[in-house]
Amino acid sequence: MKLVASVTTCVLVALALTIGGEAQENVLTRVAPSMLECYESAQIFERDNRLPMTMNMLIELIRKVEDTPGFQQDIRQLAISMLHRFRQDGIVRAPGVTSMSGVIPFSPTEFQFTKHRVLFSRLLPGNAVNFPNATLSIDERCALHFMLSNSIDRRVRGDENIRCSQLSQYRAARVPRELDFKDRSRMRSNYLGDNEMLEQPEMDRIREHIKKIKHKASSAARLEMDPDEDHPNDEEEHPEATVEGDDEPQEEPIAAAGEDEETGEPLEEDGALGEIGDVSLVDIASNAISACPVENGVVYTPWGSVMVGTVLAGIAAGLEPQTVQLRDLMSRSDQYRSRQVQPMRVDNRWAATLSGDLAEVSLLHAPSVANNVQVGAAGAWNRTVAPRWYFLSQREHLQMTDTEIRAGIDGLLLATNIAEWRSRANNLRLSQVLDMYYSHRGVFNDTVRSCNRRDLFTTVAPMQQLREQTVAFSTVLDKEMQMPFTISQEAIINFSDQATDALANYIPSALNDLSCEATAIVMNDPTIWRTASDLYIFIDAAWPHRDAYSVVSNILDSLDVGRFGTNYTILNARDGNVIVNSTQFLSDFHMTYTPELHQSLPNGLNIPNVFRRMREETNNLMSTERRTNNLSGRSKLALMIVHTDRVSEGDTNFAIQHLQIFREEVPDLRFLYLAAGDPGRFNRFVRDERRDVFPLRELESGSIVDTVRVQLSPVIHRIQQEPRRIVNPRCGHDWVQENWGSNSMNQFVEPRGVNFYRLHPNYFFRQGENRRFRIQGHGFATLTVCHSRWVERPRQNSTENRDSIQCRTINTDAYDIDLSNACDGHSVIHTCPPLFVSVEGPLNPPAVIRCSEPQCRFPDNARFAVVLDNMGCFSSASRTVSSLLLATMLALVVALFKQS
């Protein structure tokens, strides 16, 4: 049997080597044809135009592919086809080559490509023939390419004196600027030619300038620094020369780095290095490598950024694991030498994750440092609100960065467990695995989740196995990689052991990612909070685009935007016109709300226009709910992001009057205000001034990320806490009920999750026979149902008004709440309290995972039904409108009388 297995493996590997290359274009020694579209257009390639590099965005794009009509690929097929379609490591720009017709100055020439080629031609074979390219736009396809493809851009950009002072343990050399170079646009942009970096003629001019300075005064600037040398007095260097009148702030990507992702603190400007407007030139002649290179293929998560291509490769390998003998991975000329060493086998799960990166350390770094092997390289984003630039804090020892370490652990954890998870949930989706792992809930438990990776490292990667796999893959890579030296097998074993030890020491001591507890939504509460809302965001264009974009980006990224959660619409606060149509995709905002669009919008707040638009939007929504027999299940919120505009007396009267109409016609609608200046000027325009009005200070460019997150935390929590509305869809927007009966909808809750609902008395004000609210269990799990008339978020373990909360557990049975005479003793609707209901999932996933329908966000969700029986439609909206019109007419008559 062993002989048969060995022969089979040989045949499979041989087939992959001979015919696989024809279909696997991502292992070619040039940019794959399907990826050229990402390099041919300046608009597409420009980094600041790309979709944000976040895990939420990646999950959204994968989910969009999975939701393609007729899409039939399972999780293994999709993972493989995505990697072969979009990942190609090691792509860097050719120095001195400009973009021209027929020439794309990019190719996979960096060291990462060798490992990539071995993995995808021999250990993760497949192709992207069946990938549904038409599902995604070119922006979305290229976003996936840049997210999945690993490389390091080491070229000097011209902004190092700002970036690197915040990131690095040492600083690049600084020289005074001359007047010719004060135009930052020639130093900042990111595309081919002079838009991406200074062209060769500019570099030559800088060299000449540097030579002149060195000749005139050698003390004017230190032109080169040894990165390994300690400079304790670096702060006392001579100050840089400044250019008078050149003090305007830098635009992206020269703007100050936003946030240190290990500590969560903003990276402050170093006064000794000059202000943002005082960018000095770097000595390109002697510092050919940037002191803080840009790492590509990195995706932001709150628990540390990861090289996401490695994570997907781990998933793909875990779904089709292979353990291949060395001789089957080597070319025929190398097989003789391989017989001289102890027989070894390569596990593709390890090669695709930790041991693959450690092999690069063993071969490219260890031989040059003599018993001082180093792994890890910290970095930070320019901003974690819509991040696009990830800067490394050092320019050497980059064979295994922090993002690769995290991804290696994550990928190996997922690879080790994915087969068992798939056996429990046959229809498990790739988006679901990432959504569960990179969240507080974890994959089917609260242990296997990204915030626990440090604790799980020693469990998933036993040292002996890590050493063996690193030696095995290093031996393979040694035969494939072009290196400036030749090393023996004994040296490979020694270097691999050193690299493994370095990693084992680095992870517990230096990988300082945020813990699960530190990032919990509510401290000491394991509950998983999910937001489901119809959210209308009105933007006052008086805010700078950067500020408005950052605020909205952060809000949307925190509110579960997608078909399982929040639907949003972006509108202008002045004229009420729609900016971004109602959507469930984050990408729509980022691709639509450009600086050019922002500049074209009118500034200010006009409450009458906002209210008229909201009345139109809510009328349309309620009419749709009637037509589709939809009980909603989403909260309804209008958020105004206002600058310093004040509200006139006339608009104030209009707002107060129309709030009464909204209260009658759309009782669930809540207005929230996020305002600069004194937010109290909007207190009269909300239901609860203590909860619905928030301050928003001007956002400072140097600390924008921290400022945005700190300031927006209260408003985000407020939106998360708003109960989901339940309505009688028979009422519509006109509150005319033509028939009576029962209405229902399916809802879902996950383990440790809870859904809060609210039913307004407008649907049960008067007495009615057999009027009830029911939660019907479907047997997916044991659920805890609570209700109250006074506590907005009733729970079984609540300490708030416990006497007014009633709870019971259900499984296949139902929880009924009688509303036949629920407003007895109340003469008007507004004095009758709503009904508040909560449905809470079990603490642990059920033994049998059943949720496989498209509406299931996760396979372990529990389905239940919300049922309304014989609800009514009670509103005095018509009387309110008539009285308001009468009051308006009387006021007009009085005004005319005074004028006469």
- Tell me how far apart the alpha carbons of residues 742 and 761 are, in angstroms, rounded to a whole number: 17
% of the chain surpassing 90 pLDDT: 67
- Tell me how far apart the alpha carbons of residues 815 and 382 are, in angstroms, rounded to a whole number: 51
pLDDT of 495 > 80? The answer is: yes
Give the tens place of pLDDT for each residue, 9-51: 444 444 444 444 445 889 999 999 999 999 999 999 999 999 9
If one counts every other C-beta atom within 10 angstroms of the C-beta of residue 117, the result is 22
- Tell me how far apart the alpha carbons of residues 557 and 300 are, in angstroms, rounded to a whole number: 12
The reply to whether 48 and 23 lie within a common domain is yes
Give the tens place of pLDDT for each residue, 540-589: 999 999 999 999 999 999 999 999 999 999 999 999 999 999 999 999 99
pLDDT of res. 170: 29
pLDDT of 479 > 60? The answer is: yes
pLDDT of res. 700: 62
Spatial contact of 626 and 729, defined as CB atoms under 8 Å apart? yes
pLDDT of 652 > 90? The answer is: yes
Confidence of residue 703 (pLDDT cuts 50, 70, 90): very low
Angle, in degrees to the nearest 10, between helices 75-86 and 308-319? 140
Spatial contact of 707 and 696, defined as CB atoms under 8 Å apart? no
The reply to whether 313 and 450 lie within a common domain is yes
- Tell me how far apart the alpha carbons of residues 476 and 487 are, in angstroms, rounded to a whole number: 13
- Tell me how far apart the alpha carbons of residues 508 and 506 are, in angstroms, rounded to a whole number: 6
Flag whether 211 is in a domain.
Answer: no
The reply to whether 380 and 446 lie within a common domain is yes
pLDDT of res. 730: 95
The reply to whether 308 and 344 lie within a common domain is yes
Q: Enumerate the β-bridge partners of residue 758.
A: 725, 836
* HEC profile of 223-288: CCCCCCCCCCCHHHCCCCCCCCCCCCCCCCCCCCCCEECCCCCECCCCHHHCCCCCCCECCCCCCC
The reply to whether 462 and 582 lie within a common domain is no
Average pLDDT over residues 370-398: 90
Q: Enumerate the β-bridge partners of residue 520.
A: none
If one counts every other C-beta atom within 10 angstroms of the C-beta of residue 330, the result is 20
pLDDT of res. 298: 97
Average pLDDT over residues 617-629: 95
Q: With b meaning 16 or more CB within 10 Å and e meaning fewer, what string describes 362-379?
A: bbbbbbeeeeebbbbbbb
pLDDT of 794 > 90? The answer is: yes
pLDDT of res. 276: 25
Flag whether 701 is in a domain.
Answer: yes
DSSP 119: I
Number of folded domains in the chain? 3
The reply to whether 547 and 685 lie within a common domain is yes
Supply the CATH number for residue 823's domain: 2.60.120
pLDDT of res. 331: 65
Flag whether 525 is in a domain.
Answer: no
pLDDT of res. 16: 43
DSSP 515: P
Among the candidates 455, 476, 510, a domain finishes at 510
Spatial contact of 729 and 720, defined as CB atoms under 8 Å apart? no
pLDDT of res. 249: 31
Confidence of residue 368 (pLDDT cuts 50, 70, 90): confident
pLDDT of res. 208: 56
Report pTM. Answer: 0.84
The reply to whether 499 and 614 lie within a common domain is no
The reply to whether 592 and 486 lie within a common domain is no
pLDDT of res. 441: 94
Confidence of residue 877 (pLDDT cuts 50, 70, 90): low
Supply the CATH number for residue 581's domain: 3.40.50.410
Which of 276-290, 380-394, 397-411, 834-848 is predicted with the least confidence, judged by mean pLDDT?
Answer: 276-290
pLDDT of res. 135: 95
Spatial contact of 287 and 224, defined as CB atoms under 8 Å apart? yes
**CA of residue 148 relative to chain centroid, distance:** 14
Q: Side chain identity at 650, as an amino acid letter?
A: G
pLDDT of res. 417: 97
- Tell me how far apart the alpha carbons of residues 572 and 610 are, in angstroms, rounded to a whole number: 8
pLDDT of res. 760: 97
pLDDT of res. 443: 97
Nearest to 605 by CA among 660, 541, 545: 541
Spatial contact of 440 and 520, defined as CB atoms under 8 Å apart? yes
The reply to whether 564 and 668 lie within a common domain is yes
pLDDT of res. 24: 80
Q: Which has more pLDDT, 335 or 501? A: 501
Flag whether 669 is in a domain.
Answer: yes
Spatial contact of 675 and 646, defined as CB atoms under 8 Å apart? no
Which of 31-35, 327-331, 358-362, 395-399 is predicted with the least confidence, judged by mean pLDDT?
Answer: 327-331
Nearest to 659 by CA among 710, 614, 701: 614
Spatial contact of 576 and 549, defined as CB atoms under 8 Å apart? no
Question: In the chain, what is the greatest distance between 2 CA atoms, to the nearest angstrom?
Answer: 112
Q: Which has more pLDDT, 421 or 157? A: 421
Q: Side chain identity at 302, as an amino acid letter?
A: P
pLDDT of 732 > 70? The answer is: yes
Average pLDDT over residues 149-157: 93
Cβ-Cβ contacts under 8 Å for 526 (sequence gap 6 or more): 440, 446, 520, 752
Nearest to 87 by CA among 377, 243, 364, 309: 309
What region, left, alpha or beta, does residue 732 occupy, with left being phi > 0 and alpha being psi -120 to 50 degrees? Answer: left
- Tell me how far apart the alpha carbons of residues 83 and 149 are, in angstroms, rounded to a whole number: 9
Among the candidates 674, 702, 726, a domain finishes at 726
pLDDT of 679 > 80? The answer is: yes
- Domain membership of residue 864 as a residue range: 740-869
Give the tens place of pLDDT for each residue, 167-190: 643 233 222 333 333 443 333 333
pLDDT of 789 > 60? The answer is: yes
The reply to whether 601 and 641 lie within a common domain is yes
pLDDT of res. 879: 47
The reply to whether 468 and 568 lie within a common domain is no
DSSP 95: T
Q: Name all contacts of 432-435 with Cβ < 8 Å and 24+ positions apart.
A: 432/857, 432/858, 432/859, 433/75, 433/315, 434/55, 434/58, 434/59, 434/62, 434/311, 435/59, 435/857, 435/858
- Cα separation of the two ends of the chain: 109
Flag whether 122 is in a domain.
Answer: yes
Nearest to 359 by CA among 159, 112, 129: 112
* HEC profile of 159-221: CHHHHHHHHCCCCCCCECCCHHHCCCHHHHCCCCHHHCCCCHHHHHHHHHHHHHHHHHCCCCC
Give the tens place of pLDDT for each residue, 318-343: 999 999 998 888 765 555 454 555 67
Tokens 């809000």, residue located: 555
Flag whether 635 is in a domain.
Answer: yes
Spatial contact of 394 and 377, defined as CB atoms under 8 Å apart? yes
The reply to whether 705 and 775 lie within a common domain is no
Flag whether 114 is in a domain.
Answer: yes
Q: Is the peptide bond before 201 cis (omega within 30 degrees of 0)?
A: no
Flag whether 264 is in a domain.
Answer: no
- Give me the count of residues in the chain: 900
pLDDT of 445 > 90? The answer is: yes
The mean predicted confidence, pLDDT, of the chain is 83
- Tell me how far apart the alpha carbons of residues 24 and 127 are, in angstroms, rounded to a whole number: 6
| Structure-block tokens of residue 72 | 């039939």
Among the candidates 682, 704, 726, a domain finishes at 726
Which of 14-18, 190-194, 477-481, 781-785 is predicted with the least confidence, judged by mean pLDDT?
Answer: 190-194
Cβ-Cβ contacts under 8 Å for 245 (sequence gap 6 or more): none
